A and B are shown apart, each in its own frame.
Chain A
Amino acid sequence: MPVFTPPPLPSEDKRWKIVNGTMRKNGFARHALIETLHTVQSSFGFLDDDAIRFVAASLRVPLSQAYGVATFYHYFTLKPPGKHTVTVCAGTACYIKGADKLIAAAERRLGVKQGQTTSDGQISLMTARCVGACSRAPVVLCDGEVVGEMTREQVLEQLERWIVA
Chain B
Amino acid sequence: MTIEELEQIAKSARQENAKYDYEVNVCMDLACASQGAGALKDALVKAAEASGKKVLVRRTGCMGPCSHGPLVRIDPEETLYHRVQAGQASAIMYGIGGSPVPELQCDLNEHFDKQVRVVLENAGYIDPEKIDDYIARDGYKALLTVLTEMTPNGVIHRITESGLRGRGGGGYPTGLKWSTVAKARGDVKYVVCNGDEGDPGAFMDRSVMEGDPHRVIEGMAIAAYAVGASKGFIYVRAEYPVAVSRLTTALREARRHGLLGNNICNTPFSFDMEIRLGAGAFVCGEETALIASIEGKRGTPKPRPPYPASSGLFGKPTLINNVETYANIAPIVRNGGKWFFNMGSERSKGTKVFALTGKIANTGLIEVPLGIKLWEIIEVIGGGVPGGHKLKAVQTGGPSGGCIPTEMMGIGVSYDALMAAGSIMGSGGMIVMDDTSCMVNVARFFIEFCMTESCGKCIPCRAGTAQMYNLLTRICTGVGTMDDLALLEDLCSTVKETSLCGLGQTAPNPVLSTLKYFRNEYIEHIVDKRCPAGVCQMQAGKSETPGGAEIPSEVVA
Looking at A10-18, A105-113, A134-142, A153-161, the stretch in contact with chain B turns out to be A134-142
- Whether B239 is near chain A, meaning CB under 8 Å from some CB there, is yes
Q: Whole-angstrom distance from the CB of A28 to the nearest CB of chain B?
A: 12
On whether A133 and B34 interact (CB within 8 A), knowing A75-B239, A96-B359, the answer reads: yes
In chain B between 450 and 481, which residues have their CB closer than 8 angstroms to a CB of chain A? 453, 455
- CB pair A135 B433 closer than 8 Å: no
Looking at B156-164, B262-270, B279-287, the stretch in contact with chain A turns out to be B279-287
Query: Using Cβ atoms and an 8 Å threshold, which residues of chain B touch A93?
Result: 200-201, 357-358, 431
- Whether A33 is near chain B, meaning CB under 8 Å from some CB there, is yes
- Whether B66 is near chain A, meaning CB under 8 Å from some CB there, is yes
On whether A35 and B277 interact (CB within 8 A), knowing A72-B299, A135-B67, A148-B35, the answer reads: yes
Chain A, interface residues (CB within 8 Å), range? 35 or more
On whether A135 and B279 interact (CB within 8 A), knowing A32-B296, A73-B299, the answer reads: no
Complex Cα gap A96–B437 (Å):
7
Chain B, interface residues (CB within 8 Å), range? 35 or more
- Whether A78 is near chain B, meaning CB under 8 Å from some CB there, is no
Q: Whole-angstrom distance from the CB of A41 to the nearest CB of chain B?
A: 9
Complex Cα gap A35–B297 (Å):
11
Query: In this complex, what residue of B is CB-closest to A128?
Result: B239
- CB pair B31 A34 closer than 8 Å: no
- CB pair A129 B200 closer than 8 Å: yes
- CB pair A147 B34 closer than 8 Å: yes
Query: In this complex, what residue of A is CB-closest to B364?
Result: A135
Q: Whole-angstrom distance from the CB of B170 to the nearest CB of chain A?
A: 20
Complex Cα gap A110–B548 (Å):
22
- CB pair A132 B203 closer than 8 Å: yes
- Whether B500 is near chain A, meaning CB under 8 Å from some CB there, is no
Query: In this complex, what residue of A is CB-closest to B437?
Result: A96
- CB pair B355 A134 closer than 8 Å: yes
- Whether A79 is near chain B, meaning CB under 8 Å from some CB there, is no
Query: In this complex, what residue of B is CB-closest to A145?
Result: B34
In chain B between 316 and 369, which residues have their CB closer than 8 angstroms to a CB of chain A? 355-359, 363-365
Binary interface encoding of chain B residues 294-307 relative to chain A, with 1 for a CB under 8 A from any of its CBs, else 0: 11111100000000
- Whether B549 is near chain A, meaning CB under 8 Å from some CB there, is yes
Binary interface encoding of chain A residues 44-73 relative to chain B, with 1 for a CB under 8 A from any of its CBs, else 0: 000000000000000101000100110011
Identify A34's interface contact among B33, B239, B279, B364, CB under 8 A.
B279
Complex Cα gap A33–B297 (Å):
8
Query: Using Cβ atoms and an 8 Å threshold, which residues of chain B touch A137?
Result: 357-358, 363
Query: Using Cβ atoms and an 8 Å threshold, which residues of chain B touch A97?
Result: 358-359
- CB pair A133 B239 closer than 8 Å: no
- Whether A24 is near chain B, meaning CB under 8 Å from some CB there, is no
Binary interface encoding of chain A residues 75-98 relative to chain B, with 1 for a CB under 8 A from any of its CBs, else 0: 110000000000000111101111
- CB pair B277 A129 closer than 8 Å: no
Identify A132's interface contact among B206, B314, B549, CB under 8 A.
B206
Query: In this complex, what residue of B is CB-closest to A131?
Result: B239
On whether A92 and B277 interact (CB within 8 A), knowing A98-B549, A130-B201, the answer reads: no
Query: In this complex, what residue of B is CB-closest to A31?
Result: B296
Query: Using Cβ atoms and an 8 Å threshold, which residues of chain B touch A30?
Result: 295-296
Complex Cα gap A73–B292 (Å):
13
Identify A69's interface contact among B206, B240, B298, B549, CB under 8 A.
B298
- CB pair A129 B198 closer than 8 Å: yes
- CB pair B357 A129 closer than 8 Å: no
Q: Whole-angstrom distance from the CB of B459 to the nearest CB of chain A?
A: 18
- Whether B445 is near chain A, meaning CB under 8 Å from some CB there, is yes
Identify A135's interface contact among B238, B363, B437, B455, CB under 8 A.
B363
- Whether B166 is near chain A, meaning CB under 8 Å from some CB there, is no
- Whether B86 is near chain A, meaning CB under 8 Å from some CB there, is no
Identify B297's interface contact among A69, A90, A92, A128, CB under 8 A.
A69
Q: Whole-angstrom distance from the CB of B63 to the nearest CB of chain A?
A: 12
Query: In this complex, what residue of B is CB-closest to A133?
Result: B30
- CB pair A130 B433 closer than 8 Å: no
- CB pair A38 B238 closer than 8 Å: yes
Complex Cα gap A129–B281 (Å):
9
Query: Using Cβ atoms and an 8 Å threshold, which residues of chain B touch A37?
Result: 279
Complex Cα gap A96–B299 (Å):
29
- CB pair B358 A74 closer than 8 Å: no
Query: Using Cβ atoms and an 8 Å threshold, which residues of chain B touch A130?
Result: 198-203, 239
Q: Whole-angstrom distance from the CB of A97 to the nearest CB of chain B?
A: 7
On whether A134 and B437 interact (CB within 8 A), knowing A73-B280, A129-B198, the answer reads: no
On whether A134 and B282 interact (CB within 8 A), knowing A30-B296, A69-B298, the answer reads: no
Query: Using Cβ atoms and an 8 Å threshold, which residues of chain A touch B314?
Result: 31
Query: In this complex, what residue of A is CB-closest to B456?
Result: A72
- CB pair B206 A135 closer than 8 Å: no
Query: Using Cβ atoms and an 8 Å threshold, which residues of chain B touch A92?
Result: 200-201, 357-358, 395, 398, 429, 431, 445-446
18 residue pairs bridging A and B, Cβ less than 8 Å apart: A31-B314, A33-B297, A34-B296, A74-B279, A74-B280, A74-B281, A76-B280, A91-B200, A92-B395, A96-B431, A129-B198, A129-B282, A131-B30, A131-B239, A132-B30, A134-B200, A134-B201, A135-B364
Contacts A75-B278, A136-B34, A137-B363 supplied; 5 other A-B pairs, CB < 8 Å: A65-B297, A69-B297, A96-B431, A131-B30, A134-B203
